[in-house]
């Protein structure tokens, strides 16, 4: 392996690098994973933060950890990032999100058919656990997206390793992450969320089919990512 030359990157440059990445390739890469979630929920712009916030937090955490580890060790972690376990994280989290949406549709259907049925204490506990699946799955989905290698991220990791300081690497990762999630957060929380709501309203007659199709697509995306058939 040919050694790479050290790279010096200011905090402002890391932010701009993240903004450039988030304005283009990131939106395309995130759409197949987040699009079906918005289509299945159809909650609109007001509730979009329930989806985009944990996902974006996971991405920022992933970038921050990469920068911290690279700065702390003073080494490139690119080979570690390219390991198979990274796609397992993203694929597994995607399937968890799909299952949580499936649980949600089943709870919604049962509530409509019988108003007199009351949840037992065991049922409430199961429902609470299922409610944590979606934000937890979205967080790790975001982290999995962040851990996938790309040219801008490689530059940040190399700059963090060049500093040889954990706190400098952490700041580089955080600022790159903030820039990378800023534009996609706006696009998905407004544009994609609105489209998902309109889609569900206009297809209300086939609402259940739309939800199950979204779940099936997420399951396929998760399995394909975990097995290496799909590269985000």
Please report whether residue 200 resides in a domain.
Answer: yes
More confidently predicted of 193 and 64: 64
> 11-25, 127-141, 159-173: lowest mean pLDDT where?
127-141
| Calpha distance 144→211 (Å, rounded) | 24
On whether residue 63 sits in a domain, the answer given is: yes
Residue written as token pair 């779940």: 215
3-state SS assignment for residue 91: helix
Residue 46 inside a domain? The answer is yes
What confidence tens digit (pLDDT) does each residue in 78-102 have? Answer: 666 666 778 899 999 999 999 988 8
Q: Is residue 140 part of a domain?
A: no
Distance of CA 105 to the CA centre of its chain: 21
| Spatial separation of the C-alpha atoms in residues 232 and 229, rounded to whole Å | 10
What integer pLDDT is reported at residue 181 of this predicted model?
A: 93
Quick check: 123 pLDDT over 60? no
Rounded Cα distance between 182 and 123, Å, is: 38
In the chain, the number of structural domains is 1
pLDDT score of 96: 93
Q: Sorting pLDDT into bands at 50, 70 and 90, what band is 175?
A: very high
| Domain containing residue 17 | 11-109+152-226
Q: How far apart are CA 20 and CA 56, in angstroms?
A: 16
Domain annotation covers residue 28 = yes
* C-beta separation of 130 from 44 below 8 A: no
Comparison of pLDDT for 215 and 2, the residue scoring more: 215
pLDDT digit string, tens, across residues 126-143: 445 556 788 999 999 999
- How far apart CA 212 and CA 7 sit, in angstroms, is 47
40 domain residue, yes or no: yes
Q: Of all residues in the chain, what percent carry a pLDDT higher than 90? A: 30
Distance CA 115, CA 59 (A): 40
What pLDDT does 8 receive? 77
Residue 180 lies in a domain: yes
Q: Does the residue 133 lie in any domain? A: no
DSSP one-letter string for 72-137: HHTS--HHHHTSHHHHHHHHHHHHHHHHHHHHHHHHHHHHHH-SS----HHHHHHHHHHHHHHHHH
If you count DSSP H runs as helices and E runs as strands, how many of each does the chain have, helices first?
Answer: 10, 0
pLDDT at position 131, please?
A: 63
Q: At 1, is the secondary structure helix, strand, or coil?
A: coil
């Amino acid at each position: 392996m040919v050694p790479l030359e050290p790279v010096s990157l200011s905090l402002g440059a890391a932010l701009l690098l993240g903004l450039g990445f988030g304005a283009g390739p990131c939106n395309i890469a995130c759409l197949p994973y987040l699009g079906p979630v918005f289509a299945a929920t159809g909650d609109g712009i007001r509730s979009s933060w329930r989806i985009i916030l944990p996902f974006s937090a996971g991405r920022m955490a992933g970038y921050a950890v990469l920068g911290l580890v690279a700065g702390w060790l003073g080494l490139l972690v690119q080979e570690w990032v390219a390991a198979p376990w990274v796609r397992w994280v993203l694929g597994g989290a995607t399937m968890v999100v799909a299952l949580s949406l499936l649980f949600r549709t089943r709870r919604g259907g049962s509530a409509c058919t019988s108003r007199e049925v009351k949840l037992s204490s065991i049922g409430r506990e199961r429902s609470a656990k299922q409610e944590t699946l979606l934000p937890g799955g979205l967080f790790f989905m975001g982290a999995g997206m962040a851990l996938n290698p790309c040219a801008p991220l490689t530059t940040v990791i190399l700059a963090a390793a060049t500093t040889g300081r954990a706190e400098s690497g952490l700041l580089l990762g955080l600022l790159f992450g903030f820039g990378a999630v800023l534009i996609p957060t706006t696009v998905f929380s407004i544009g994609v969320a609105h489209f998902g709501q309109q889609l569900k309203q206009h297809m209300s007659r086939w609402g259940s089919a739309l939800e199950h199709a979204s779940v099936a697509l997420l399951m396929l995306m998760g399995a394909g990512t975990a097995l290496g058939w799909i590269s985000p």
